[in-house]
Amino acid sequence: MLLRSTLTAASLAFVAMPAFADPVTIQHAQGELTLDATPEKVLVMDINTLDNFAALGLTPAGVPKGNLHGPAAVFDTDEFINVGTLFEPDLEAINAAEADLMIVGGRSARAYPAVSEIVPTIDMSFDNGNLFDDVEKNLTTLGNLFGVEDRAAELVADLQARREAVKAAAEGKGTAVVLVTNAGNLGTYGPVSRLGWIFTDLGFTPLEENIDDRFHGGDAISFEYVLERNPDYVFVLDRDAGVGNADNTGAAAALLDNDLFNQTTAAQNGHVIYLDPYSAYITFGGYNALVTLTDQIMAGIQ
């Protein structure tokens, strides 16, 4: 007997479905989509979703080739259809693929109007200020879509445990700042930035609330400012390495190795934590990236 179910992405976290025998309507960032069966041929333009696919043991049919690193690099081969880039879909290839589902999100979300005219599409974008909850919901949604609910539940439980462990360890640790190095320049990210989850989800106290970090390199600051505000902890993102403009050979550390920065409480106490650039800047909405980042943060504050 077939029953029609209408579920939000959030409610999918609590309702397990039998391998999608029943039509299901999924609410997503740009609307809703009803699927009549479990999608078999899936194209993925979202780099964070590819990270989650790798964690869940799922295999897409098509990916944005040329910018896949870390766990998602296994999908950057001739076996997979090239659906374009993170910013520009290859509409001809997408049309020819005759896929059951397309997933966009983040950088590729702008492609939704065009690709949704060709193939059923959902947008798995997330809120930087509510990162862990949104990633957990996305994992659960994917688990229920593709019949890997148990694996998704394991990953969600692990992320929840990691968040609580870091929050407990961070309590009473003082102030923290996220520094961004970009082409030899210094900037900072605040509580509403792509790294805002360090404050909103993990509980670190921001050095400054009023930060204009709309730009790639964050809000420009000086080392005099950093010393004056004197944070207890410093998280460092090398944006050049994150976007592939430089390999991670210590450019950020070299920039920070100066008399002013070395006088800060964080530097003197060894509380300067260099985040994995690709995980922190590109794939932080994926399970594997968050495992890498929480491991680094926990190691740096213990």
Query: Is 95 part of any domain?
Result: yes
Q: Same structural domain for residues 289 and 180?
A: yes
Of 258 and 184, more confident: 258
- pTM comes to 0.89
Q: Same structural domain for residues 37 and 118?
A: yes
Domain count, the chain: 2
Q: Same structural domain for residues 180 and 275?
A: yes
- Give residue 192's domain range: 171-301
How far does CA 52 lie from the centroid of its chain?
10
pLDDT given at position 2: 25
Q: Any idea what the CATH number is for the domain that residue 270 is in?
A: 3.40.50.1980
Instruction: Give 212-230 pLDDT, tens digit per residue.
Output: 666 566 788 999 999 999 9
pLDDT given at position 103: 98
Query: Is 132 part of any domain?
Result: no
Instruction: Give 100-143 pLDDT, tens digit per residue.
Output: 999 999 999 999 999 999 999 999 999 988 999 999 999 999 99
Q: Same structural domain for residues 296 and 183?
A: yes
Query: Is 159 part of any domain?
Result: no
Query: Is 223 part of any domain?
Result: yes
Q: Same structural domain for residues 178 and 115?
A: no
Domain end (from 92, 125, 158): 125
Query: Is 62 part of any domain?
Result: yes
pLDDT over 50 (residue 180): yes
Query: Is 10 part of any domain?
Result: no
pLDDT given at position 92: 98
Query: Is 54 part of any domain?
Result: yes
Q: Same structural domain for residues 289 and 175?
A: yes
Q: Same structural domain for residues 117 and 203?
A: no
Q: Same structural domain for residues 113 and 177?
A: no
Q: Same structural domain for residues 105 and 213?
A: no
The mean pLDDT value for 267-272 works out to 98
Domain end (from 125, 158, 190): 125
Query: Is 15 part of any domain?
Result: no
Domain end (from 125, 157, 192): 125
Instruction: Give 39-96 pLDDT, tens digit per residue.
Output: 999 999 999 999 999 999 999 999 998 778 888 889 999 999 999 998 899 999 999 9
Q: Same structural domain for residues 176 and 64?
A: no
pLDDT over 60 (residue 201): yes
